[in-house]
Chain A
Amino acid sequence: MTEGLQGPAPDERPQPSGRRNAQGIRIDPAVAAEPASRRTVISALVENEPGVLATISGLVSRRQFNIESLTVGTTTNPETSRVTLVIEEPEPGVRQVEKQLDKVINVISVRELGDDAVRRELVVLKVHGEEPDKVHAVTEMYDGTTLDAGPRTVTVQITGDEQKIDDAIDAFRQFGIRELARTGQTALARGEEWTTHAEEERYERTQS
């Protein structure tokens, strides 16, 4: 007591020469690289308990993950659902999404799918019906299906990867799009690869 705090002032102290970036990764200060974001698909197998979806969407919004789409549906096992998220994050962010999802008690298994994953999205769109033949031609071009055609509107469905859906929507713009609904992507790992480990284990179990 009675002396007060002492020692050299901040600018008189030895300074370290190292640095980290905003993700806390040690970097060369001269280069100072920030990891680039990438768009990727995360698949989570969850238990069909009430509130799981709310928990997951709450988690994503609370932690400010950059989410592009989120889809849900049941799997071969009526007790589980698959949640497919498309996110755009730098590498550390992708790992955080995975780990935070994995922490949710009702989440059974989580995995990031590779670039070769089979991804599909559905759009239902309604255009003005003045030029039904032209609309039909565009629909054909995108392997779509006409769901409803009336004197004033035509409603079609297109499925495909994200790029194809974007292109199709662009193509339909010439007719004037009244409304559209996109599902967001859903995906499975390609070929023999399993989408989540838990499903592989269950499959092995039920086969034997």
Chain B
Amino acid sequence: MSEQQPTHRPDADEPATEAATAEEVAAEGTPTEEASSEDAGARPVTTGSESVVRALETAGVEHLFGVQGGAIMPVYDALYDSAMDHVTMAHEQGAAHAADAYGIVSGDPGVCLATSGPGATNLVTGLADASLDSDPMIALTGQVPTAMVGSDAFQEADTTGITSPVTKENYFASDADTVGDAVGEAFALADEGRQGPTLVDLPKDVTNGATDREPDEGKTPETYDPPERADEEAVETAADAIASAERPVILAGGGVIKAEACDDLRQFATEYGVPVVTTMPAVGAFPEDRDLAMEMAGMHGTGYANMAITHCDAMFAVGTRFDDRLTGGVETFAPEAEIVHADIDPAEISKNVHADYPLLGDAGTVIEQVHAALAEERDTDMAATGERWQEWREQCLMWKDEYPMDYAAPADAPLKPQFVVEAVDAATADDTIVTTGVGQHQMWAVQYWTYTEPRTWVSSHGLGTMGYGLPSAIGARFAADDDQSVVCFDGDGSFLMTLQELAVAVRENLDITVFVLNNEAVGMVRQWQDGFFEGRRMASEYPWVPDFETLAEAFGARGYTIDDEGEVEDVVSEALAHDGPSVVDAHIDPTENVYPMVPSGGANGEFVLAEDQL
């Protein structure tokens, strides 16, 4: 928050104005909860910028992440009078990742702002990241005045052109009267159907332009009509296929979490006793401490998950796009399975893996529909389902015994990164939110932490963006409950990419603990060089990383260093207990690698457990 509190800032404790009807107040509980939108209603719109701000308020936005600049200044000026909380980030990429993580944790679109030109281009990585992960997010960018567009003006970039491939939809606002509607529509689109990032480009003359039009309630355009319920007949045949299988699995994708369908998934899987495999974005959708949980499949998934998908004869895939990190080579992906694929986006059906039984609809609704259809069958030939699949379940459990997630830690070995992850998991509550950078540390964080709740795993899946960890922890912190912990596992390479955001964490006094699993290398690259490039470690070793403890202190955060296992427990609990940002520089065994591993394009069932199996 800025030092000078704006004097005319609406007081959050102010009682509701007459604008609120008696019913509204009664329905919403205490009038103070509604204070911000009530106050907003009392303020007439006079400019395009105010209309933009009004549209955000109407959509229920509480936090915005951004960086100031010339072309976006009118919008910031309008924000001066709003009760929404703006978090100034150090870099626009940080703003985009923070908004993205906010969207993942809260389920509602996170909002980021940037100025034209470099501000907008700095958002691109974050937009691409949100786009590949279907995260709800909206970006507002300043633009040079309409009359100068196309003239290579100062800080001009073709933002809608540049971001078109990485947004669900983008808009170039052309009129002060309708700019608020565009923002409302962008917000609604980011949230509805398959979620994703949207962008509104705001020329300065449009935001400065005079208007007294209150924006409409944000809604998606008429041509946008995502399916809700799957076709009944298709559901029946799909349910038949599952019922007649001998070795069924559920493959839960990120869409299950996005659609708030985790309870439906849990009920379905438990009632029928079907093992559940998740993709990386779906980590947390099904509690990993259950027998039925096969956990994450794919390149660095568990051995048992990869065995289960390789040997299943029916797969109920929900809300997944069959990314190549999951499938390995498609020729060998679930090669014996009839695939039932439920998705809200028709274009995902048979895009990468052919769907034998496509079901178009919302993940929760479709799971319920299939559940109900199976329940009918159960009265007839499914009577012995539980028993019929018993053998398969036992096979899955055997694979869990055969390929446990484990790591070797000889007595005199340097600190193992997996040990650090396990120690932090043990010291924190189940609902702790974990964010990560990208690399080996990300994989250890997903493999050695037991996720039991959705929206507690925040990571860059599809784009694999190094530098995602810290800014996403900041965004997650704003979306999390006050008593929920937020920790970030980062690599030294990833941390170096966005660590300037520590300044923001310190300024806002955010309770975040960053664990840098420091191997003085871009370890994942080094692992591949050792495995596939005869150990030629070109540009992958970073023996010059700074002392992260001192660096944290320089930013005003708390810093710690751990060198061996004996120190871990104390330092972890001290860092977690600190109320504010802290950074733990964990000097880990630089030779440690991530296994199991499916070499890219390989067969999932042929995951290797050590380098000598490559």
Contact = CB atoms under 8 A, between A and B. Distances in A.
A75 interface: no
A5 B335 contact: no
A9 B345 CA distance: 38
A23 B356 CA distance: 13
A25 interface: yes
A92 B354 contact: yes
Contacts of B608: 10
A95 B350 CA distance: 9
A20 B408 contact: no
A47 B613 contact: no
Given A2-B410, A4-B406, A58-B164, A24 B595 contact: no
Interface string B348-364: 01111110100000000
Interface in B374-428: 399, 402-410, 416, 418-419, 422
B360 to A, nearest CB: 11
Contact of B596 (A5, A21, A23, A100): A5
Nearest to A99: B347
A95 B211 CA distance: 45
A24 B334 CA distance: 10
Contact of A92 (B327, B350, B406, B407): B350
A206 interface: no
A199 interface: no
A92 to B, nearest CB: 6
Interface string B314-344: 0000000010000100111101111000000
A75 to B, nearest CB: 16
Interface of B: 160-161, 164-165, 169, 172, 189, 221, 223-224, 303, 307, 310-311, 322, 327, 330-333, 335-338, 345-347, 349-354, 356, 399, 402-410, 416, 418-419, 422, 595-596, 605-610, 613
A196 to B, nearest CB: 12
Interface in A1-30: 1-11, 13-26
Which of A10, A62, A96 is the most central at the interface, judged by chain B CB atoms within 10 Å of its CB?
Answer: A10
B335 A20 contact: yes
A168 interface: no
A18 B409 contact: no
Contact residues of A: prevailing secondary structure: loop
B331 A19 contact: yes
Interface string A100-118: 1011011110000000000
Contacts of B169: 105
A24 B332 CA distance: 9
A25 B354 contact: yes
Contacts of A14: 311
Interface stretch (A48-56, A135-143, A152-160, A179-187): A48-56
A168 to B, nearest CB: 38
A26 B402 CA distance: 29
Q: Rank and list the top 3 A-B pairs by shortest CB-CB distance, nearest first.
A: A18-B335, A4-B408, A24-B353
- Name which of A5, A9, A16 has the most chain B CB atoms within 10 A of its CB: A5
A200 to B, nearest CB: 16
Contact of A6 (B333, B356, B402): B402
B609 A103 contact: no
B605 A108 contact: no
Interface in A83-131: 92, 95-96, 99-100, 102-103, 105-108
A99 B406 contact: no
Contacts of A2: 406, 408-410
Nearest to B349: A99
Nearest to A3: B406
A16 B333 contact: no
A102 B347 contact: yes
Nearest to B405: A5
18 contacts: A1-B422, A4-B407, A4-B610, A6-B402, A6-B403, A6-B404, A8-B402, A16-B332, A19-B331, A20-B333, A23-B354, A24-B327, A24-B350, A24-B352, A47-B223, A92-B350, A96-B347, A107-B223
Contacts of A21: 331
Given A24-B352, A24-B354, A99-B346, A18 B408 contact: no
Contacts of A99: 346-347, 349
Contacts of B303: 5, 7
B310 A16 contact: yes
Contacts of A96: 347, 350-351
Most chain-B Cβ atoms within 10 A of its Cβ — which of A4, A20, A92, A108?
Answer: A20
A7 B402 contact: yes
A160 to B, nearest CB: 35
Contacts of A18: 335-336
Contacts of B613: 9-10
Contacts of B403: 5-7
Contacts of B418: 1
Given A24-B330, A100-B347, 16 more contacts: A3-B404, A4-B408, A4-B609, A4-B610, A6-B404, A9-B613, A10-B605, A11-B606, A13-B605, A15-B605, A17-B335, A18-B335, A24-B352, A26-B354, A105-B221, A107-B223
Interface in A59-93: 62, 92
A16 B311 contact: yes
